Amino acid sequence: MAWASHPVPLWSAFVLVHFWLGMLGLYGPGLPLGDVTLIYRYWVQNGLDAGLWVGIDLDWVYPILALVPMLAAHVLGPDLYASTWLSMVMLVDAVAFAALTGASRDRRLAIAGWWWLGFLLLLGPVALGRIDSITVPVAIMGVLALASAPRLAAVLLTVATWIKVWPAALIAAAMVALRSRWRIALAAAIASLAIAVVPLALGAGPRILSFIGQQTGRGLQVESIVGTFWMWDAFASHSTRSLVYYDQAILTFQVIGPGTVAAAGITTPLLAIAAAALLALGWFATRRGVPATELLPPLMLALTTALIVFNKVGSPQFVTWLAVPIVLGLVTRLTGRGRSFRTPAVLALVIAGMTQLIYPYLYDQLLGLDFTLLLVLSARNVLYIALLAWAVVAVVDEIRERGDIAAGRMASSRETPV
């Protein structure tokens, strides 16, 4: 199907998908652009009117660079904030889409482009309506540049990290798997210093790192993997033992019940242990001779998925993170390297579709502990765990294969020539 790799259908589909998601965001049910219109715009307006800037004058839940796209969306005024935001996201996505499908003459890469568009379509308007929608395309450009321009890749991934923290896992994976790890580390450090200069000069002080402490006091969000048990307990006990409530400080729905405080407290150390274990596994793989092209996509996928599985927050926009390692895995496979990424690609599509069903359209039913929605949420969360398991097994398989190859070479070297 040569037409599928032609720029006209590719870019036509890109525009149509973004137009459809934009219309759903602006006019669809469930207020899918609520974070943009109610929270991001408020932060910017408060800074412009009262001179109180989040991340500088006030503690903030996001790294300081997240303020840049929020300010950019205000350039045409508060009344057009949502439409300007959507246009900005589409522009950044377009740059990443061009890097993915147009930077090479290899038409096979169009398959990865089609997958990303299908992923966005299945995930729905939340794919464009959160700050994550800026970090994902920047991170995609970063991972695609790792092989040819590691310093540029490090800068792009560092920029994404200073917008929202999760791409730090991609930098860590790259430093484990690539020989250019010190160049990546140096470029990331220099980029971080450059980013920090302006807010520090404006008096941010220690608030520039306030996003770290802002997460520690959170409870279990209703969509989190860890919180699933208590959602079912709330259903079974008719909210007499566990219940769903709205946290005014964090501005999100959480579940509380017997043991939730302890569970929320243990998620952060568990996440740190899981990330350290995965990085150690990746380091062991490099020592066993696993090439970066074989190791990096599943390692990045394992780390990214672990950030979701061991997180007390389970926001629907977290699904967007999966696009980055899966796009890298698809591109690596399509160019004749690496293992098949068909299974995680399909799993991520199903996770995206189930997430759109939950949010924004039927979110009220989930909060009301509807049985069917709880089943959908539970199945979606099980698929997250399955995706993490696939990625870990993929890394382990690469280690075993290198061990088998090494054992075969040793056996052949011991053979006595006839």
What confidence tens digit (pLDDT) does each residue in 79-101 have? 999 999 999 999 999 999 999 99
With beta carbons less than 8 A apart as the criterion, state whether 35 and 366 touch.
no
Structurally, the chain folds into a number of domains equal to 1
Averaged pLDDT score across all residues of the chain: 93
- Count Cβ neighbours within 10 Å for each residue of 349-380 and write b for 16 or more, e otherwise: bebbbbbbbbbbbbbeebbebeeebbebbeeb
Other C-beta atoms closer than 10 Å to the C-beta of 200 total 16
pLDDT for the residue 336: 87
pTM more than 0.75: yes
Q: Give a yes or no: residue 408 inside a domain.
A: no
Q: Give a yes or no: residue 412 inside a domain.
A: no
Q: Give a yes or no: residue 124 inside a domain.
A: yes
Q: Give a yes or no: residue 98 inside a domain.
A: yes
User: Comparing C-alpha atoms, which of 181, 221, 252 is closest to residue 34?
Assistant: 252
With beta carbons less than 8 A apart as the criterion, state whether 156 and 138 touch.
yes
User: Comparing C-alpha atoms, which of 66, 109, 61 is closest to residue 211?
Assistant: 61
What gap in Å lies between CA 88 and CA 82, rounded to an integer? 10
pLDDT tens per residue across span 267-322:
999 999 999 999 999 999 999 999 999 999 999 999 999 999 999 999 999 999 99
pLDDT for the residue 276: 97
User: Comparing C-alpha atoms, which of 98, 78, 4 is closest to residue 37?
Assistant: 78
Identify which has the larger pLDDT, 88 or 335.
Answer: 88
What gap in Å lies between CA 184 and CA 164, rounded to an integer? 19
Query: Which tokens go with 137?
Result: 């395309």
Identify the three-state secondary structure at position 244.
strand
What gap in Å lies between CA 146 and CA 153, rounded to an integer? 5
Q: Give a yes or no: residue 385 inside a domain.
A: yes
Domain that holds residue 14: 2-401
CA atoms within 13 A on the CB side of 185: 10
Residue type, 269: P
pLDDT tens per residue across span 96-148:
999 999 855 567 789 999 999 999 999 999 999 999 999 999 999 999 999 99
Residue with tokens 């243990």: 266
Model confidence at 406: pLDDT above 70: no
pLDDT for the residue 404: 61
Output the furthest CA–CA distance in the chain (Å, rounded).
Answer: 88
According to DSSP, the residues that pair with 246 across neighbouring strands are 253
252-256 and 220-221: which strand pairing? Answer: antiparallel
Other C-beta atoms closer than 10 Å to the C-beta of 287 total 10
What gap in Å lies between CA 47 and CA 274, rounded to an integer? 38
- SS3 per-residue string spanning 37-86: HHHHHHHHHHHHHHCCCECCCECCCCCHHHHHHHHHCCCCCHHHHHHHHH
Alpha-carbon torsion 348, 305, 284, 171, what sign? positive
418 falls in which pLDDT band (50, 70, 90)? very low
CA atoms within 13 A on the CB side of 6: 6
Percentage of residues of the chain with pLDDT beyond 70: 94
pLDDT tens per residue across span 343-379:
999 999 999 999 999 999 999 999 999 999 999 999 9
Other C-beta atoms closer than 10 Å to the C-beta of 89 total 26
What gap in Å lies between CA 403 and CA 283, rounded to an integer? 15
pLDDT for the residue 1: 58
Residue type, 316: P
Residue with tokens 């946290």: 247
pLDDT for the residue 251: 79
pLDDT tens per residue across span 154-179:
999 999 999 999 999 999 999 999 99
Model confidence at 416: pLDDT above 60: no
Q: Would you mind telling me the total number of residues written for the chain in this entry?
A: 418
Q: Give a yes or no: residue 192 inside a domain.
A: yes
> What strands lie across the sheet with 243-247, from one edge to the other?
220-221, 252-256, 243-247
What gap in Å lies between CA 285 and CA 297, rounded to an integer? 13
- Residues whose CB is less than 8 angstroms from the CB of residue 149 and which lie 6 or more positions away in sequence, other chains included: none
Q: Give a yes or no: residue 140 inside a domain.
A: yes
Identify the three-state secondary structure at position 247.
strand
pLDDT for the residue 410: 52
